[in-house]
Amino acid sequence: MVKIKVAFKFWFETEEKYVFGEGALKLLEEVSKSGSLLKAANSVQMSYRYAWGLLNKIKKAINSPVIITHRGGKHGGGGSRLTDKGKFLLQSYLKIKKDFNILSKKHSEYLQSHI
């Protein structure tokens, strides 16, 4: 028996450019958990420089930052946190991903029952 399933990949974009996708999702989830862009980048196996570039692309696309960073003092203590727009993008992406997964499962079952 052949197993066929529905697969998908999606992202947010403007008319001109990419805004947000799976890589950005993982990065923002980790920033939210760890409170550190460096730790988040390392966790998702992304260079710190690449992570900053990705966040800057998103910032330019939506004209608003998705994280706020603050430097530590002489003894450290810096960190990062999501802005309201960053939280909104993260939550919206997760909601749509969940909806796609439900739809994908439903249609995969339909395909499977007819092949």
What is the tally of structural domains in the chain? 1
Contacts of 85 by beta carbon, 8 Å cutoff, 6+ apart: 62, 64, 65, 66
For the stretch 88-101, pLDDT in tens is 999 999 999 999 99
CA distance 29 to 39: 11
- pTM of the predicted model, to two decimals? 0.86
CATH number for the domain including 78?
1.10.10.10
pLDDT in tens, 19-58: 999 999 999 999 999 999 999 999 999 999 999 999 999 9
Rounded Cα distance, 96 and 86, in Å: 16
Establish if 100 belongs to a structural domain.
yes
The answer as to whether 7 is a domain residue is no
